[in-house]
Structure 1
Amino acid sequence: MKNLRGQEIFALIYRLFLVFFFYQIARLLFWIFNSDLIKVDGISEYFKLSYYGTAFDTTAILYVNAVFILLSLFPIIINTRKSYQQFLFYWYFITNGIAYAFNFGDIIYYRFSQARLTSAAIEVGKHETNLGRIFWNAVLQHPFVFIWFIVIIFAWIFLYKKMKVNEERPNNLIAYFASSVIVLCITATLVVGGIRGDFKHSTRPINLVDANKHVSNPLQGNLVLNSVFSFFRTLNTNNFKLVHFVDEKFIDKEIQPYKLYNREVEPKPNVVIFIMESFGKEYSGAFNRNTNIKDFVSYTPFLDSLANQSLIFTNAFANGRQSIHGMSSVLAGIPSLTDAFTSSPYSNQKIQSIVSVCNDMGYDTSFYHGAPNGSMGFQGFGNILGFKHYFGKTEYNKDEDFDGMWAIWDEPFFQYFAKNLGKKQPFMSTLFSASSHDPFKIPEQYKGKFKKGPLQIHEPIQYTDYALKKFFETASRQSWYQNTIFVITADHTNQIHYPEYQKAMNRFAIPILFYSPNPKYNLKGVDDRLAQQMDIYPTLADLIGYNKKIRSWGRSLLSDKDEDYIIVNSDSINEQMIIGNYIYIFNGKEVTGIYDKTDLALSKNILSKNPTPEQKLGIEKTKAWYQDYMDRVINRKLR
C-alpha cells in the first residue's frame, strides 16, 4: 500500500471534501443573510439549489486548489515528511482562505449590487484610493459576517488536522513512480472535467448563465453560484460577440436605432442633470402614489414637493446595477448588459450622447462629482463623452467638507454646483451625488434632524434630499435659472424594505423627473408609461431642439410620435427586456423565459413551444436589439 500512496490520496480527498463542505456553509449563510432578496420555497427547494450549486463549487474549488492537488500527488518521495505536510497546510489555507473570503464579502455586497462578485469589481476598485477604509467600514457595519468567517476558518483548521499523514518512504521506487503517473493522469482528467463542468468535449465549459437552468426564479441563480466561480469565470472574458439573428431591415423597422425629432426652441435652454446616488423609487412618496403599499413612508419631502410641479415617470427603470452604468445609460443611452460596456475593451470610442449633442449646439458642458478626481471611473468616461470641464474634490479644494470616505458632503458640494454654473450659457451640466452611499452617514451637525427608518440608507436619503432643496433655493436666485430644464434620476437602487421592491424587476425601479420653472416647456404631470434611463438622452435632445438624427435605443418621452419601447437591463447573468405585454429573459443566444409584464417578481415562466404571435415578435425583437447592440459596440458605431 505504501507504493500506491494510499494515505496521501485519502488525505487529499478528505481535504478537498472539507472545501466542498465549507462552500455549502458559505452558501447557506449567503442565503440566510439575503433570504428577503432571494425567495426560496421551503427547505427542499434550498437543498435542490445547493445541490445544483455543487457543479459551480467544483469548478471554483479546482481553480483554487489545482496547485495544491499537484503538490499533494507529485512523486518527490518527501511528500509524507512533516515539514512538507506543514508546507501543504499553509498553501491550502492561504489560497482557500483568500478565495473563501470572496463568498463572505458577497454576503454583504450582494445587497447593494444585486449580483454575485465578478471581475468587473477590479475595474471599479482601481479608481478608488480608499479601499482600506471601505473594507474596515464593512467589517464594523457587519461584524457578525466577519466573526462567522473567523469561526469557520478555525473549525476548518481543526477538521483538517484530524487527518494525519504518517511519514514513510516507498520500498519500490519503480512501483511508486508508476503508480504516481497513473494517479496523476486520472486526477488531471478529473480536474479538467471538473473545471469545465462536464467531460463532454462538445459541451462548452459551464458559465454564469448555466446557474439558471434549474431555478424557478432567475434571482435564485445567484444562490446556485458562488462568488469564487463568478469572479474567476469572468476574468479576461469578453462576452461582447457579434451575432446574427435577423436582417438589418428588421432592425431598422422594429428597433429603430436612430431617432429624429423636430422642435423649434429659442433661446436654447440650459440643462442640469442630477444623477442621484442610490435614489431608488422606493424611497419617494411622489413615485409611489399608486403602489398601494401599506403604511408607506417617504424619505424625500423636497423631491415629493418638486414632483407636484414637474413631469414625473412613475414606472421607470435603471439600465444597470452600478454607478458607472447609470452614467452611461443616462448620458449616452448605453445600458449595462451581463458585461458592462464601461469596463469593456470597447468603451474608449467616439460616442454620441447628450454631451456631444450639446457640444455640437455650442453648449458649455461640465460634470460635477465631489469624490477624489477619477473616482468611480467618472472622469475617464466623462472625457470619452466629451465634457469640456470636470469638477471634483480637487477643484472644490476644501477638504474640511470631505466625508472621510467617499466625497465632499452633498450639501456644500450642491451649493458649490449652484454658484459655479452659468458663467457661460447655454450650458449642460451633470452632477453625480455621493452622500447616500454606503456607509450611509450624515454630517455631525445634522444628527437628529432627519427621522430614522428601518433601513440605514433612509437617513442619508433625507440628507441628500435636503441638500437638493438647498440647491434649488440658491439656484432660483441665479440669472440662468428661469431658462433651465432640470432632470433628476437615480443611478441604481439600493437597500430594500418593502416587499414590492424585492421583486426582480423592481430592483431596477427608479424615479425620473423633468422640471423647469419656465412654463413654455410644459413639464408637468404624472406619466405612468414604462420609461428608463436610456430615454433621458433622446428626451433632452428633443427638448433643446436638436433637429438631427441621434443614435438611441431609448425614445423621447415627450414626442408625439408613436414609438415602441424596449426596456433593457441585466441581472448580471441574463439580459432582461420588457417589450409590449411581456418580459423576456435572454442568455445571449436564446430567450429562456417569458413573463407577463405585470409579473415583476418573474414568478411564472410562460415560455412555450408555441408562442403567441406577439410573443414570437417579442422574441425576434429581443434578439434583434441584442444583435444591434453588439454590432454598434464592437464595430464602434456608437457615434
Structure 2
Amino acid sequence: MTPNTFRTYEIKIMLYRLLLAYVFYFVVRLLFYFYNADLLNIDSIGQLLSLAFYALPYDSASILYMSILFILLSIIPVFINTKPGYQKVVFYAYFIPNLLAYATNFIDLIYYKYILSRTTIAIFDSLEHEDNKGQLFTNFLVNYWHVLILYIVCVTLWVFLYKRVKMKPVVIGPRKSYFISSIVILGVSTFCVIAGIRGGITKKTRPINIVDANRYTDKPEHGDLVLNTPFAILRTLGKTSYKLVDYMDDKAVSQYVSGVKHYNTNEPSRPNIVLFITESFGREYIGAYNKDTDIPNYKSYTPFLDSLANHSLIYTNAFANGYKSLHGVSSIIAGIPSFKDAFTSSPYPTQKIESLVSVLNSEGYDTSFFHGAVNGSMGFLGFGNILGYDNYYGMTEYNNDDDFDGTWGIWDEPFFQFMRETLNKKKGPFFATMFSVSSHEPYIVPDKYIGKFPLGNVEIHKTIGYTDYSFKRFFEESKNEPWFKNTIFIITADHTNQIYYDKYKELVNRTAVPIMIYSADERFKGENRSLAQQIDIYPTVLDIIGYNKPFRSWGRSLLNDSVSTPFTINFGGNEYTYQEGDYIVRFNGKEVTGFYDINDKGLTKNLISKKNKEMTRLEVKCKAFLQDYYDRIINKKLDK
C-alpha cells in the first residue's frame, strides 16, 4: 500500500464530496425554475445556464458555510481520519448541516410564488407570533407532498453518490512530512473557504450580498435564480430590525405621513440630470455651508465648490438619512432611508421599487451609474440593476488600471473625465449618477498632486481638496459640451467622515451633508436654511422636470412643496432622530427618550419634562413615519 505522505488521496475524496453539493444545488435550481418559470421570465436554455454559472459564488458561500466542520475533520492531521469509525463522524458532519440548508431551497419551490423573492430570515419574524408552527409545517408537507418527494429523491441520490466513492484506510508516511503537508493543506483550505464564503478574493471591499446577485442580470427577477435560499437566510441573519410596528391605526398614519407625492407646479421638460454622490463629503468641509456657523478659525478645503455655490441653490441645513454608503444610495436615488441596517442588506431590496431611475426611464431618459471601483463593489451594480439603470460604468468599462488608486478604484479626476466623455456620446435626455471614491480612507492623493492640497487638521482634508479639484476639472471641461446648458447638476454626499470641528461632533450634526443644485442659467440660486435630507432629492428632481403623475416618496420637493413640512429622520446612538419645527425628537422604537430644542444639536438639555402639544404631535409624526416605512418595505409596497 502506497504511503499517504502528502494526503492527496484524502484531498481528492474531500473535493469529490464538495463537488456533489454543487451538483445538487444545480439540480434544485433547475427545479426552482420549473416550478416558477412563469415568474422568472427566462428567454432560453442558454440564459438559464448562464445564470446558473453566475450562481456559483452564492452556492459556494452556502456550501462552504455548511461544510466548515466537514472540511476541518477531513484535513486535520490525525492518524485515524481514513478509518471507518472516523469516516462515519465525517459523514454526519457533512450531511446534517448541508441537508438542513438544502431543504430550505425546496420551500421556495412553492413559497416563491407568494413572496416573489427568496426566503430570508424574515420568515422567522413572520412566524414569531404563530402558535401553530407545527401545524403549518405539517400542512405544507401534506399539501405539497410532491416537493417532499423531490427532496427525498435528491437526498437519497446524494447519499448514494457520496458512499459510492469510499474512503479506504491508508498507511501514513513519514510523520514529519505528514504534519508539514497537513499544515500547508490547512492553510490553503482556510484561505479557499474564506474566499468562497466572501464570494472571492478580489478588489471588492465586502462579501457578496443579496443585491449582488443582480450584477449580471437583465431582469430583477433573475437575481432570485442566481441566489439560493440558504445564502439568502445566512446573509440576512441579524438583519432583524425590519419588523412591522403598530403604533396607531392606518387612518391615523395617513393623517401624519404621506408616502405618495404629486406635483403640478412646473411644465414638463427634459433637462439632463447629473447627480454626484460624493464619498464622505461632509458639510463640515465646505466653506459655503459654514459662513454663519461661528466656528473659530474655520477653514474650507473646497475652493471650487465654494465658488460654484455662489451660482447655485444650496441647502445649509441638510442631513444624511444614514451613515454608510449603501444607506446613502438607497436614500438619494430611491428615497428609501436606512436606519439600523442598510435597506440593501435587508431581506427586502429585490422587490419592485419605484425610484428616480424607474420614473426617468419611463420618461425616456438614458440612465447610467458611474462608480470607479471594481464592478459590483459596494453592491451598487446589483442594486442598480434592481432599480433599472440602463448602463453601469466601473473599472471594467474604464479599462485602464494605470489610474487605479491601489485601494478603492480609479482616481476621481480621470474618472470624472471618463463620465464626461461617456455623456458626450449620449443623445439625451440622460440621468447620470456618479459615486466618487477618492475622498476616503486611506486618504491618499495621486503622486503628482502630493503637496498641492492643504494637509489640514485630519487626514481626509487633503483628499477633500483633491476631489474638489476633480470637480473643478470636470466643470471646466464640461461647460463647452453641447449638453451642458441643458443639464441640472446636483451634488451631495453619501455620509460624513472624519470630524475636526466641535460643532460637527454634536450627535445630530454627525450626519450633516451638503445638497447643491446648479444649472448654467442659474435658475436655482441662493441659500435655503430649511431642513432638508437625502430622501428629498428624488422628489425634487421629479418636480424640476414637471413630472405630473403620483409617485411613491417619503421626501418632499425642496423647491415647491407647500404641503409637506420640512423634517429629517435618521438613526444614530441606537435611537431615531426626528427633526421638525422647533424640536428634535429622540425615539428608541418603543418610547420617546428626549425632546430637544431644534438648535441643540448636541442634545445637551432634555426638555421631556416640559412636554407640550407640539412635542406630542412630533412624537406621533415620527411613529407614523416609521409605521408606514416598515409597512411599505415588508409588505412590498415600494412600487406604489
**Do these two structures clear the TM 0.5 threshold for a shared fold by scoring above it?**
yes
- % identical aligned pairs: 55
Contact 1:128 1:376 in 2 (8 A): no
1:412 aligns with 414
Measure the CA separation in 2 of the matches of 1:127 and 1:540: 38
**Other-structure match for 1:630:** 630
The partner residue of 1:502 within 471, 482, 505 is 505
Distance 2:591 2:554 in 1: 20
- The alpha-carbon deviation at position 562 of structure 1 amounts to 3.6
**Match of 1:129, as an amino acid?**
T
Which residue does the alignment assign to 2:446?
Answer: 443
2:430 is equivalent to residue 427 of structure 1: yes
Give yes or no for contact 1:133–1:405 (8 Å, CA) kept in 2.
Answer: no
Structure 1 residues 415 and 588 mapped into 2: Cα distance closer, same or farther (>3 Å)?
A: same
From 249, 252, 258, the equivalent of 1:250 is: 252
What is the identity, as a one-letter code, of the residue corresponding to 1:591?
V
Q: CA separation in 1, counterparts of 2:546 and 2:268?
A: 8
Report if the CA contact (8 A) 1:577-1:583 is conserved. yes
Whether 1:599 aligns to 2:607 is no
For 1:287, the equivalent position in structure 2 comes to 289
Q: How does 1:116-515 map to 2 (within 5 A)?
A: 129-130=202-203, 235-265=237-267, 267-422=269-424, 423-515=426-518
Give, in whole Å, the separation in 1 of the partners of 2:205 and 2:561.
Answer: 51
Q: What is the CA deviation profile of residues 120-164 of structure 1, one whole-angstrom value per residue up to 9, with x for unaligned ones?
A: xx9x98698347999xxxxxxxxxxxxxxxxxxxxxxxxxxxxxx
Amino acid at match of 1:527: N
Deviation string 1:188-222 (CA, Å, 9 cap, x unpaired) is xxxxxxxxxxxxxxxxxxxxxxxxxxxxxxxxxxx
Q: C-alpha separation between the residues in 2 aligned to 1:408 and 1:532? A: 28
Q: Secondary structure at the match of 1:510?
A: coil
CA distance in 2, matches of 1:126, 1:560: 45
**SS state of the match for residue 615, structure 2?**
helix
The aligned counterpart of 2:579 is 578
Query: What is the alpha-carbon distance in structure 2 between the residues aligned to residue 418 and residue 456 of structure 1?
Result: 29
Q: Is the 8 A contact 2:203 2:374 kept in 1?
A: no
Q: CA deviation at 1:311?
A: 0.2
Which amino acid letter does the alignment assign opposite residue 425 of structure 1? G
- Structure 1 residue 250: Cα displacement: 2.5
Distance verdict in 2 for CA 1:550–1:127, change over 3 Å: farther
Distance in 2 (CA, whole Å) between partners of 1:416 and 1:616 is 51
Q: CA deviation at 1:247?
A: 2.3
Distance change >3 Å, CA 624–CA 451, structure 1 → 2 = same
Secondary structure in structure 2 of the residue aligned to 1:529: coil
SS in 2 for 1:421: helix
Offset of residue 241 of structure 1 = 1.2
Residue-by-residue CA offset, 1:369-407 (whole Å, 9 max, x unaligned): 000001011111111111110000000000100001100
Name the structure 1 match of 2:78: none
- The residue type paired with residue 435 of structure 1 is S
Report the AA paired with residue 517 of structure 1.
A
Partner in structure 1 of residue 589 of structure 2: 588
Letter in 2 for 1:600: K
* 2-structure distance, mates of 1:429, 1:237: 31
The answer for the alignment partner of 1:543 in structure 2 is: 544
Distance of 2:368 and 2:206 partners within structure 1: 29
Query: Does 461-470 or 238-247 show the bigger shift?
Result: 238-247
User: Residues 451 and 497 of structure 1: is their aligned pair in 2 closer, same or farther, counting only changes over 3 Å?
Assistant: same
Matches of 2:238 and 2:443, distance apart in 1: 33
Contact kept in structure 2, 1:367 and 1:382, CA below 8 Å = yes
In structure 2, do the counterparts of structure 1 residues 537 and 133 end up closer, same or farther at CA, with 3 Å as the change threshold? Answer: closer
CA RMSD, 1 decimal? 2.3
Q: State how far apart, in whole Å, the 2-side matches of 1:496 and 1:467 are.
A: 22
How far apart are 1:604 and its partner, in Å?
Answer: 1.9
Amino acid at match of 2:638: L
What per-residue deviation string (whole Å, max 9, x for no partner) do you get for residues 477-529 of structure 1?
Answer: 1111101000000110000110001000110001100000034xx20000111
Measured after TM superposition, the shift of residue 566 of structure 1 is: 2.9
Amino acid in structure 1 at the alignment position of 2:249: D
Cα distance in 2 between the residues matched to 1:127 and 1:361: 38
User: C-alpha separation between the residues in 2 aligned to 1:128 and 1:499?
Assistant: 40
Contact 2:530 2:566 in 1 (8 A): no
Q: How has the CA–CA distance of structure 1 residues 377 and 246 changed in structure 2, closer, same or farther, with 3 Å as cutoff? A: same
Secondary structure, aligned partner of 1:241? coil
In the alignment, residue 468 of structure 2 is paired with which amino acid? Answer: D
Aligned position for 2:124 = none
**Is 1:475–1:481's contact at 8 Å kept on the other side of the alignment?**
yes
Deviation at 1:572, TM superposition (A): 5.7
CA distance in 2, matches of 1:498, 1:126: 40
TM-score (norm 2): 0.63
Matches of 1:624 and 1:568, distance apart in 2? 12
Change (3 A) 1:323 1:125: farther
Q: Secondary structure at the match of 1:418?
A: helix
Once the two structures are TM-superposed, the CA of residue 237 in structure 1 deviates from its matched residue by: 4.1
**CA-to-partner distance for each residue in 1:324-365, whole Å, 9 max, x for gaps?**
111111111111111221110011111111111101111000
Structure 2 counterpart SS, 1:328: helix
Offset, 1:580: 2.1
Give the superposition deviation at 1:537.
0.5
In the alignment, which residue of structure 1 is the partner of 2:535? 534
Bigger mean CA offset, 279-288 vs 591-600: 591-600
Deviation at 1:266, TM superposition (A): 5.3
- Whether the 8 Å contact between 2:286 and 2:306 is mirrored in structure 1 is yes
Counterpart Cα distance in 2 of 1:554 and 1:381? 20
| Mapped contact 1:569–1:577 kept (Cα < 8 A) | yes
Q: Any idea what the Cα deviations from partners look like across 1:411-431, whole Å, max 9, x if unmatched?
A: 000000111114121000100
Q: Contact between 2:302 and 2:468, CA under 8 Å: does it hold in 1?
A: yes
SS of 2:531's partner is strand
Q: Is the Cα–Cα contact under 8 Å of residues 127 and 374 in structure 1 kept in the other structure?
A: no
Is the 2:355–2:538 contact (alpha carbons within 8 Å) kept by the matching residues of 1? yes
CA separation of 1:365 and 1:133: change in aligned 2, threshold 3 A: closer
In 1: Cα distance, 2:201 partner to 2:527 partner:
39
Cα deviation, 1:547-597, whole Å, max 9, x if unaligned, reads 111111110010151421331111161111112211111222222222111
Gaps of 5+ in 1: 1-121, 135-231
Unaligned runs of 5+ in 2: 1-194, 208-233
Q: In the TM superposition, what is the alpha-carbon distance from 1:251 to its structure 2 partner?
A: 2.3
CA contact (8 A) 1:128 1:375 kept: no
Check conservation: 2:368, 2:390, Cα contact below 8 A: yes
Q: CA deviation at 1:607?
A: 1.6
Deviation, structure 1 residue 257: 1.4
Q: Deviations over 1:41-71 (max 9, x none)?
A: xxxxxxxxxxxxxxxxxxxxxxxxxxxxxxx
CA gap 1:373/1:599 in 2 versus in 1, 3 angstroms:
same
